[in-house]
């Protein structure tokens, strides 16, 4: 009985889990427009599924409408060894024409074992948000019609904030 409990605990704590960081999402590029890094923080190897989906909100006709986009991972070797970060690129398969103006993006990456890694971003500048902050800002924007006040006013201001955070 004890061996079953140990096996169960080993399975639960050793399973693959991924951390994702999106560096670039250029919808105007036909090849390799999405660049991201994935790290398998679990104890077993897994592989990345070739499709990346993005859920987002887009302003259409004066109201926010939900949309999706799909990217295909370009690398053939998508193996994710434990505790090793790898950089991948993906090309757009299906993106709407105004995708560059979308807000509250959620990038969804899945592994062959069924584990999901998500990256939440406010907009095109890919400012990372925690899941709680992402949902709270979306809720407050939809209900109150306003965004947070500490958002960067320009691309230069955003790049300066990014440099202050350091290389990681």
Residue 136: its H or E element: helix 131-144
More confidently predicted of 165 and 81: 81
Instruction: Indicate the pTM of the whole model.
Output: 0.80
Strand duo 79-80 + 63-73: pairing: unpaired
Beta bridge partners of 119: 107
Tell me the pLDDT tens digit for each residue of 137-165: 888 887 877 666 566 556 566 667 666 66
Q: Compute the residue count for the chain.
A: 168
- The answer to whether the beta carbons of residues 83 and 40 sit under 8 Å apart is yes
Residue-by-residue DSSP string for 1-51: -HHHHHHHHHHHHHS--EEEEEEEE-TT-SSS-EEEEEEE-SSS-EEEEEE
pLDDT of residue 140: 83
Q: What are phi and psi of 15, to 5 degrees?
A: -70, 155
Instruction: Look at 122 and 38; give whichever has higher pLDDT.
Output: 38
Domain ranges across the chain: 15-165
For 39-59, the pLDDT digits (tens) are 988 878 889 999 999 999 888
Residue 116 pLDDT greater than 80, yes or no: yes
The more confident residue out of 95 and 147 is 95
How many angstroms separate the CA atoms of 166 and 46, rounded? 30
- Two tokens at 65? 């409408």
Contact (Cβ atoms closer than 8 angstroms) between residue 69 and residue 85: no
If you average pLDDT over residues 23-46, what whole number do you get?
Answer: 85
């Amino acid at each position: 009985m004890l061996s079953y409990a140990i096996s169960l605990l080993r399975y639960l704590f050793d399973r693959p889990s991924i951390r994702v960081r999106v560096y670039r999402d250029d919808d105007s590029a036909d090849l390799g427009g999405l660049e991201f890094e994935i790290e398998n923080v679990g104890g077993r190897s897994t592989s990345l599924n070739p499709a990346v989906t993005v859920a987002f909100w887009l302003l259409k006709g004066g109201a926010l409408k939900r949309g999706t986009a799909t990217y295909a991972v370009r690398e053939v070797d998508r193996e994710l060894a434990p505790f090793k970060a790898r950089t991948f690129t993906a090309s757009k398969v299906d993106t709407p024409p105004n995708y560059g103006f979308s807000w509250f993006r959620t990038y969804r990456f899945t592994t062959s074992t069924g584990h999901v890694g998500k990256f939440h971003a406010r907009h095109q500048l890919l400012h990372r948000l925690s899941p709680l902050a992402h949902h709270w800002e979306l809720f407050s924007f939809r209900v109150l019609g306003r965004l947070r006040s500490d958002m960067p006013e320009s691309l230069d201001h955003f790049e300066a904030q990014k440099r202050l955070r350091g290389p990681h």
